[in-house]
A and B are shown apart, each in its own frame.
Chain A
Amino acid sequence: SQQGEEDPQALSIQEGENATMNCSYKTSINNLQWYRQNSGRGLVHLILIRSNEREKHSGRLRVTLDTSKKSSSLLITASRAADTASYFCATDGNTGKLIFGQGTTLQVKP
């Protein structure tokens, strides 16, 4: 990946459990975003956190950002079977392009 690692690469949990995904990046950033992708489908924007923010919430999603460690985490609480998807973090490059991490494949078992 151009950007860094996502950890874990695959995660399997039971419905109702929490899922945590981590992302590391290499360069300084203006913001970091998380996207979701259902198998072979389009990318859906979940949440954006700016470099001067440490934590952000949106519904069942909680994102943290540690710029000193160049890392971010996405927590999905009370997971549902419909959350089964691949999750990517993406950082902004110059001129607005997104640099994606390798993604975490999440399976939520009903």
Chain B
Amino acid sequence: AAGVIQSPRHLIKEKRETATLKCYPIPRHDTVYWYQQGPGQDPQFLISFYEKMQSDKGSIPDRFSAQQFSDYHSELNMSSLELGDSALYFCASSLGNSAYEQYFGPGTRLTVT
């Protein structure tokens, strides 16, 4: 069965650069969630989209923005990268935004040097 696809899987950037992370949800899933997991930390909710509209926002820095496109894929744009942005970024998708089982992608490991 198709799973959530994230690209790239690994990304190395320097401070003050920008990064774009992509997420392709499971076919027919209309909801996408983004989470950030720092080293040794639990995943923290960043932002979510339902039917291409932002549905919730968590602890996402103003330097970050995201959107969901007409084909339901989502992109997380990160600017003015800081060392503290180094983390694993997960995307998850679900059918509807009722928080029943979310399916997680493999994550993008971002390293800021």
Contacts and interface: CB of A to CB of B under 8 A. Distances in A.
A88 interface: yes
Interface string A73-84: 000000000000
Contacts of A40: 88, 109
Interface residues of A, number: 27
B68 interface: no
Given A95-B50, A95-B55, A96-B94, A48 B101 contact: yes
Nearest to A97: B45
A6 B68 CA distance: 33
Interface residues of A: mostly helix, strand, loop or mixed? Answer: mixed
A93 interface: yes
A25 interface: no
A2 interface: yes
A101 B48 contact: no
B74 interface: no
Interface of A: 1-3, 30-31, 33, 35, 40-45, 48, 88, 92-103
Interface of B: 31, 33, 35, 41-45, 48, 50, 55-56, 58, 88, 90, 92, 94, 96-107, 109
